Amino acid sequence: MKVTIQTKNNIVYITIQGSIDSNTAGELQSRIMEELVSLNRVIMDLTNVGFLSSAGLRVLLMLYRQLNSNGGKMLLVNVSEEICDIMSMTGFINFFELYSSIEEAEKKFKLT
């Protein structure tokens, strides 16, 4: 798994490549948490994520809970159909807003 984190206009952009599972979940969580000390708006690009395991989904949910408690928000971009299906069957999807492109997600943040 490769993670790129950038901050622009008070939005944290996270791009992930690879799988998020029990091997990588811990690292991902700690890296993102560092960035969230001062900011609370996140756009996570999952275009190149092939698989999200149970542990991976839990990292997303923990981030959601963390952001929610700060009045923040995380938007997911380009979630594959398969991952979307898994998220739906396991209930995780109810916590997230999904967008088909980064621009769409940015619009959402600008509107709110």
Number of residues that bind other proteins (CB under 8 A): 17
Shortest distance, position 26 Cβ to other proteins, whole Å: 11
Q: b/e per residue, 69-81, with b = 16+ CB within 10 A?
A: eeebbbbbbbbee
Residue 1 engages other proteins in binding (rule: CB under 8 A): no
Residue 26 engages other proteins in binding (rule: CB under 8 A): no
Query: What's 55-108 look like in SS3?
Result: HHHHHHHHHHHHHHHCCCEEEEECCCHHHHHHHHHCCHHHHCEEECCHHHHHHH
Distance of alpha carbon 43 from alpha carbon 75, whole angstroms: 5
Q: Which of 31, 68, 70, 85 binds other proteins (CB under 8 A)?
A: 85
Q: CB under 8 A: which stretch of 31-39, 42-50, 87-95, 101-109 binds other proteins? A: 87-95
Residue 95 engages other proteins in binding (rule: CB under 8 A): yes
Shortest distance, position 9 Cβ to other proteins, whole Å: 30
Distance of alpha carbon 32 from alpha carbon 26, whole angstroms: 10
The contact set with other proteins (CB under 8 A) reads: 21-23, 53-55, 57-58, 61, 85-86, 88-92, 95
